[in-house]
Chains A and B, each alone.
Chain A
Amino acid sequence: MAGRSAFALALAAFLLAAGASSARADEPRQGGTLNYVAPYGSSFSSLDIHASAQIQDAIWSKAIHKPLYDWDADANQPVLALATDVAASDDGLVYTYKLRQDVYFHNGKQMTADDIIWTYTRIMDPQKAYPSARFIRYIKGAAEYSEGKAEAISGLKKIDDFTLEITFTDPMDPAYLLMRNVTSIYPKDEGNSEEFLKHPIGVGPYKFAEYVPGSRLTVERWEKYFDSGKPYLDKVNIMIMGDASARDVAFRNKEIDVSVLGPAQYVAYKADPEMSKYILEVPEVFTRFVGFNLDYEPFKDKRVRQAINYAIDSDLIIKRLAKDKAYRATSWLPISSPAYDKDAKPYPYDPEKAKELLKEAGYAEGFEFELTATQNESWGLTIVEAIIPMLAKVGITVKAKPVESSVLSEVVPAGDFQAFMWSYTSGPDPLTALLNFHSETPQSSGNYEKFNNPDYDKLIDAAKQARNEDEKNELLRQANNLLQEEAPMWFFNYNKAVIAYQPWLHGAQPNSMEIALQSYEKIWFDESAPSR
């Protein structure tokens, strides 16, 4: 029986290959089971995506849920997802959405404006502290509601079942806020039930099937998904695999179709003539850096900060420790940013120049500083260990101060450091990213270095007022270059995120926001996929 069906399959495959060889390579095919990985840790934290700020949870959310906007990874920009059309008022405060009328929750109920209003209201629940609130807070009246001063969010207005009007507090592009997975739309009322937390329901391409805590979450194709024809795959198993070497073994055994690579695997896969064909790499919007506390005496002098940038052989560290799985940083904005200056050159490795600058600044004998860092291998003690001897060569003594990551993110916003190492999001919106270094941004809200430069402020303020994207990006480009010159930090690298996929998999997207987040509905298998 098994033999016969295998033969039949082989025959069918042969006939298909012969008959449709021209269409085969780029024509999406239905069917198949995708084994995907959730690589960040050993568990999911919650089946309530509003309550989780973890990327790990966004990985299952991408299958089950959809927010109002979607991040189009191929185009590198946000697009409307649950609406067909949007119109903004002249003052840029009121947005009117024409909702899609073919969106259905996994329980069969049609999605209307009520569900969206209910969802955003739930996120601002005065009794709860959902991390997703920071994106909804820009809707007018949301803050008042969450403080208990209002019965409802005044900026959310239902015109009819499929027309929604949202008023914002500032003129801004709401796409960057409402595309976040943590703002995904829940079915009204049901979203608060006990049952929902065990059995989430969304409008996404796949419906929840099974969750084995600590092991995997399985979803199945949602037949009434609004984007007709999609999704292609019947089923997706999202396996929790926090360990890079374990993913390596599973991927080589073809047990998983996609693997997120660590540095060691990246080197090995790149060297393999077959595997290297199926690698997708992308500069993610995360910048790794050592921030200097500008209140600390030696760091007050720009030349000292520049000297550190000259004294560290960043390229060597990237090559040897990061195994080339990173892009050298020039300044703050990452390569994928629309305001990234393609002509900018990073600080070269020049210890002599560094010594000279230190001498000019009055630190010919060197000085000492404490560097607070976690034990992260890409932006923590592993890197600190490498820069200690490099800086020692120009006379600077670095004392590593190891902390746990939850402590790092407490001491840094409080300014309780001389220098710290971190990886911080620097996109996709360049204005938001550069706003961190505006002198009016409090230290606790992102200006950790306490950077204060009037010229820089002027450029940012002008960019806010810019009439079009080109003008805005040009101003931000200048600001970004000024930041490099002023060097309030050691610019280390931008993360190079890499996934490897099996040859039969098509449609993987180079997501610069986070490569582990794939829109599963775009993925399909060709005939060479194993049957599972």
Chain B
Amino acid sequence: MLRFILRRLLQMVPTVIAVSLLIFIIFSVVPGSIASSMIADGRGANDPELIERLNREFGLDRPVHVRFGDYIWNLAQFDLGTSFRTRQPVTELIGERIWPTLKLAIAAMCVAIAIGLPLGFFAAMRPGSLLDSITMVGAVSGLSVPQFWLGLLAMYLFALTLGWLPSFGYGEGGLRNLVLPALTLGVGPMALLARTTRAAVLEVMSTDFIRTARSKGMSSFRLVKWHVTRNALVLIITTLGLQFGSMMGQAVVVEKLFSWPGLGSLLIDSVGLRDIPVVQGSILVLVLCFLVINTVVDVLYAVIDPRISHG
């Protein structure tokens, strides 16, 4: 098992290098610069000398391949460079933001699991019932709705009109501020999970094994509890793992909407300010999160379903 995990981790290395190269190339041709963004709000005066000095300080006057060499060399030592804007190490800046993002993502996943899983499960218990229809309509709707729009409406209703919850921000990091963003971000995975769970449970229920057991008089609920769970879990975990990537993308939008101080808002702000080292670092960390989660999913998968070969 350990070898299996190690091998999966090693497989991440070329992907990480390729992603860094890709991001590096994209952001070396992007128009605008940190210097121009400093006067971008029209509140400072343009200063050609400052632009020159900044380029010199951050080594932007060197050729691209030299910069990329440096970048990879630093990356190998887990150094993501220095922010143009704050002159702090990028790792430090990301360190400040990663916890709010993880907190949001985990909360959203919890919402998805807490609601999506039982809905899909009970829908599959009674295929064709009213509950089943409502769940499936709800699920396809959840996949079709622009999440930030839903968040906006929730903000209007629960924060601005009813005043139950804060409309934005991190506050002191408490639960109240987390509710709306987590619900908003959780809608997509929730819908998908309900669908997947229903399909998985239906599939297992229709296998010969279950049908035999049922004919022997075991109650369907107990059956499901014992036999279906493990098999369905495999599919569900895979779904969640895969969903994590697109959730990281959606988190950017949700964080922006709720002014949530996570990695996503850091990324967006840094793109706007052309703080390239931070942009590269945030994307890389988001990708790493995704890769690690997928590795974890693979490992879980192997634990739950020992038939998967480890070789």
Contact = CB atoms under 8 A, between A and B. Distances in A.
A96 interface: no
Contacts of B44: 53, 131, 425
B88 A405 contact: no
Contact of B170 (A197, A215, A249, A444): A215
A306 B160 CA distance: 45
A245 B167 contact: yes
B261 A42 contact: yes
A445 interface: yes
A45 B266 CA distance: 11
A23 interface: no
B269 A197 contact: no
A312 B56 CA distance: 44
A215 B269 contact: no
A407 B261 contact: no
Contacts of B245: none
Interface string B238-264: 000000000000000000000101000
A410 B261 contact: no
A214 interface: yes
Contacts of B45: 134, 425, 446
B36 A407 contact: yes
A68 interface: no
A143 to B, nearest CB: 9
A219 to B, nearest CB: 17
Contacts of B71: none
A444 B55 CA distance: 17
Interface in A9-52: 40-43, 45-46, 48, 51-52
Interface string A183-205: 00000000000000100000000
By size class, the interface of chain B is: 35 or more
A45 B86 contact: yes
A286 interface: yes
B159 A249 contact: yes
B46 A133 contact: no
Contact of A213 (B33, B38, B97): B97
Interface string B138-181: 00000000000000000000011001001111111100000000
A46 B50 contact: no
B208 interface: no
B232 interface: no
- Chain A CB within 10 Å — which of B39, B44, B85, B272 has the most? B39
Given A42-B269, A406-B274, A413-B46, A48 B87 contact: yes
Contacts of A404: 32, 272
Given A214-B100, A404-B272, A407-B32, A286 B168 contact: no
B125 interface: no
A241 B169 contact: yes
Contacts, number: 142
Contact of B272 (A128, A241, A406): A406
Nearest to B168: A246
A409 interface: yes
B273 interface: yes
A215 B42 contact: no
Contacts of A446: 45-46
Interface in A55-76: 55
Contacts of A43: 261, 265-266, 269
B266 to A, nearest CB: 8
Given A379-B42, A409-B36, A446-B46, A243 B31 contact: no
Contact of B47 (A134, A405, A408, A410): A134
Nearest to B100: A214
A129 B261 contact: no
A134 B86 contact: no
By size class, the interface of chain A is: 35 or more
Contacts of B56: 129
A118 interface: no
A422 interface: yes
- Chain B CB within 10 Å — which of A40, A52, A54 has the most? A54
B167 A246 contact: yes
Interface in B278-297: none
Interface in A399-449: 404-410, 413, 422-425, 444-446
A5 interface: no
- Chain B CB within 10 Å — which of A54, A374, A404, A413 has the most? A404
Nearest to B156: A245
B48 interface: yes
Interface string A444-486: 1110000000000000000000000000000000000000000
Contact of B86 (A51, A146, A423): A51
A25 to B, nearest CB: 33
B170 A405 contact: no
Interface string A107-132: 00000000000000000000111010
A254 B51 CA distance: 43
B53 interface: yes
A51 B34 CA distance: 12
A422 B48 CA distance: 18
Contacts of A215: 169-173, 261
B65 interface: no
A436 to B, nearest CB: 9
B43 A406 contact: no
A409 B50 contact: no
16 contacts: A46-B86, A46-B88, A53-B38, A54-B41, A214-B265, A215-B171, A246-B166, A249-B160, A379-B42, A405-B272, A406-B32, A406-B37, A406-B40, A409-B46, A410-B33, A445-B47
Interface of A: 40-43, 45-46, 48, 51-55, 127-129, 131, 133-134, 137, 146, 197, 212-215, 240-243, 245-246, 249, 286, 374, 379, 404-410, 413, 422-425, 444-446, 514
Nearest 7 CB-CB pairings of A with B: A214-B261, A406-B32, A129-B53, A406-B37, A405-B40, A423-B42, A410-B36
Given A131-B50, A409-B39, A425-B44, 11 more contacts: A48-B86, A131-B44, A215-B169, A241-B259, A246-B167, A246-B169, A406-B33, A409-B37, A409-B40, A446-B45, A514-B43
